Structure 1
């Protein structure tokens, strides 16, 4: 009798551990639910929107203009697999619903420049390689106080929030190494 109970408990434990490891692998390397914190992407994403991040996009690291990505804003920090696991454990939707907090150095932004691009700003316009960047996703005019030309280095991207007047982005932290991209925005899953 005791042996049968022990086998049953062991069997259930193996299933539970296997399920936990499967979820961890899926969230770390394939897709991950999370919640938007802040107003920097308003116009496209609102504070508290629940979204799914596509982690597979980090495999080929091929991003395009206008892609919305989640970045690690600590641009001088070399990221490791442990960073990825930590991000997954602390910043998924389930953890947020329990703790009501997320790490504040993971930002969701839009790619406006890739390696080799020249970014310049007029009073309320972004210039990409000498031409006005068309940005139909912006719902209010932005004010820029930057009087410099930025050349995006090899292996980097330049990101901005859609709500430019409140967003902290590459204007503040500089260009972002491709390795600091956690994943790309895939889907909004709000129940509204």
Structure 2
């Protein structure tokens, strides 16, 4: 009889642990593996990350947040928010302009300095010229780019990303261990 009680006790613990893990993964955090070079130098292919799924339940996405979202190709993409709802985005001579104001992008500064011809890193464009032809980013959408502008499928090609397609904010690289860090 004691063995049966012990077994039932262990089964309860296992069921509760599975339930808690399911709730955490469904509503709070989820792992993702970076695939491809689109976020270099910030993130490398095969970096394992934790995505915070609840951060945008309490706050709006912010410029330069790195997010994971469901893409039109039915896979998840990881990109950086460059533009917010109601803003006009343009690039000219490797400078981001938001509503006509130049905005510094410190996360690509080092990469631009290393390039022989930096004017080909982020090709010049205006929001009106990208998928959808918008004058401003629509309400409930963000404009995203990969940090590796020469090799990224992002809002220049798929248009602004709807809030309801955002999985969450990428916050922590945990593997490989030498890359362990909180993502800025």
Common fold by TM > 0.5: yes
Find the partner of 1:160 among 107, 125, 145: 145
Structure 1: give runs of 5+ residues left out of the alignment. Answer: 76-103
SS of equivalent residue, structure 2 residue 151: coil
Aligned 8 A contact 1:117 1:152 in 2: yes
Structure 2: give runs of 5+ residues left out of the alignment. Answer: 113-117, 129-133, 179-184
Matched, 1:189 2:174: yes
| 1:11-50 superposed matches below 5 A | 11-50=9-48
Q: TM-score, normalised by structure 1?
A: 0.76
- Tell which deviates more after alignment, 52-61 or 41-50: 52-61
Q: TM-score, normalised by structure 2?
A: 0.79
Superposition CA RMSD, Å? 2.1
Aligned 8 A contact 1:61 1:178 in 2: no
Whole-Å Cα distance in 1 between the matches of residues 140 and 15 of structure 2? Answer: 38
Whole-Å Cα distance in 1 between the matches of residues 91 and 125 of structure 2? Answer: 6
SS of equivalent residue, structure 1 residue 23: helix
Aligned 8 A contact 2:83 2:143 in 1: yes
- Tell which deviates more after alignment, 110-119 or 7-16: 7-16
Structure 1 residues 105 and 178: CA distance shift in structure 2, 3 A: same
Find the partner of 1:144 among 105, 113, 123: 123
SS of equivalent residue, structure 1 residue 110: strand
* Deviation digits for residues 73-112 of structure 1 (CA, Å, limit 9, x no counterpart): 139xxxxxxxxxxxxxxxxxxxxxxxxxxxx610111001
Aligned 8 A contact 1:58 1:182 in 2: no
In structure 2, the partner of 1:69 is 67
What is the CA distance between 1:133 and its match in structure 2? 2.8
